[in-house]
Amino acid sequence: MNIAELQKEILKLKKEQDVCVLAHSYQTREITEIADFTGDSFALSVEASKVKNKTVIMCGVRFMAETVKLLSPEKTVYLANPVAGCPMAEQMDKDMIAEFKAQNPGVCVVAYINTTTDLKTVCDVCVTSSSAVKIVKELESDDILFIPDINLGTFVAKNVPEKNIRLMHGGCPVHAAVLPKTVEEAKALHPNALLLVHPECVPAVTEQADYVGSTAGIIKFAKNCEGSEFIIGTEIAIASHLAYECPGKKFYPLSKELICPNMKATTLVDVYNTLKGNGGEEIILDDETIKKARVCIDRMIELG
């Protein structure tokens, strides 16, 4: 089967089996074309809480499929490619955070959604890159522990100076690898372009940006902005989706190395095999874990 035939077959199977396919914006175009919904982590969570279909296939990374299961435990949820994990999600140890809470009563633990379900069970509220500043501002507590991304945490601390925000050393290996020198080179090559970057990049990079925001924020900014040239400082999929959707504008990836191998692990064949019952991984979480971990996801949706 070629790509178009495979897509046609997937659309047919989805309909027959009452399946909803959710895709993160870092997925390839051939996947977003067969998805019922494509968005950033926050939009995917909100969508997951509204899905009517009895089965959901997530084309993204593991914590995203687990978020769908937390919000819709009665549904059958699959991660299309079981090897797609987010390395940042595994960086903090649940016992260490529980111990920190015990020693610092009153501190509010804010977890980036890129965390394991197990870790979420000891956190107070989740945030995504698009909702972090808003949610932290609205929290009653002024004493915050933000985990695991030190770069997103630094960005939040800068935008919410009235709160005491403590950070730990975690982060995205893909975004954090972008060097300020790369920004200087890109700006020299494209002097008229605006620089749009994800807050998972280091402060020396975000400080040089014209706009800092989530993947959905970057897409919206580029579409609505009158400028016609943009350097895109996040996973290269976003520059290529924008080039397709805004043919009159020019988009340059900040670095060709901004590729998340985990996000790129999922293929159309994975989606097809999952629908055929011989691929993907069903997400199984026990009731107690769902009950505990869901608290901070519900709070995120309520405040975000």
Strand partners, 164: 143
Residue in the structure block whose two tokens are 């797609």? 84
Residue 40 binds which entry of ligand SF4, ligand 13P, none, CB below 5-8 Å type-dependent: ligand 13P
Shortest CB 115 distance to ligand 13P, Å: 11
Q: How far is CA 34 from CA 166, 213, 230, in A?
A: 41, 26, 27
Tokens representing 252 are: 């340059």
Task: Give the three-class secondary structure for 84.
Answer: coil
Segment contacting ligand 13P (CB under 6 A): 14-22, 127-135, 176-184, 223-231? 127-135
Stretch 98-157 residues interacting with ligand SF4 (CB under 6 A): 114
- Buried/exposed code over 215-229 (b: 16+ C-beta within 10 A; e: otherwise): bbbbbebbeeeeeee
Segment contacting ligand SF4 (CB under 6 A): 50-58, 134-142, 256-264, 291-299? 256-264
Q: Is 172 in the site for ligand 13P (CB under 6 A)?
A: yes
- φ/ψ of 252, rounded to 5, equals -115, 125
Segment contacting ligand 13P (CB under 6 A): 6-14, 75-83, 122-130, 153-161? 122-130
Contact in structure between 126 and 134 (CB atoms under 8 Å): no
Q: Is 260 in the site for ligand SF4 (CB under 6 A)?
A: yes
Using a 10 angstrom Cβ sphere, with 0-12 exposed, 13-18 middle and 19 or more buried, the burial of residue 30 is: middle
Q: Judged by CB under 6 A, which of 81, 116, 215, 274 binds ligand 13P?
A: 215
Contact footprint for ligand SF4 (CB under 6 A): 61, 86-88, 114, 172-175, 200, 235, 260, 262-263
Contact footprint for ligand 13P (CB under 6 A): 40-41, 86, 114, 128-130, 172, 200, 214-215
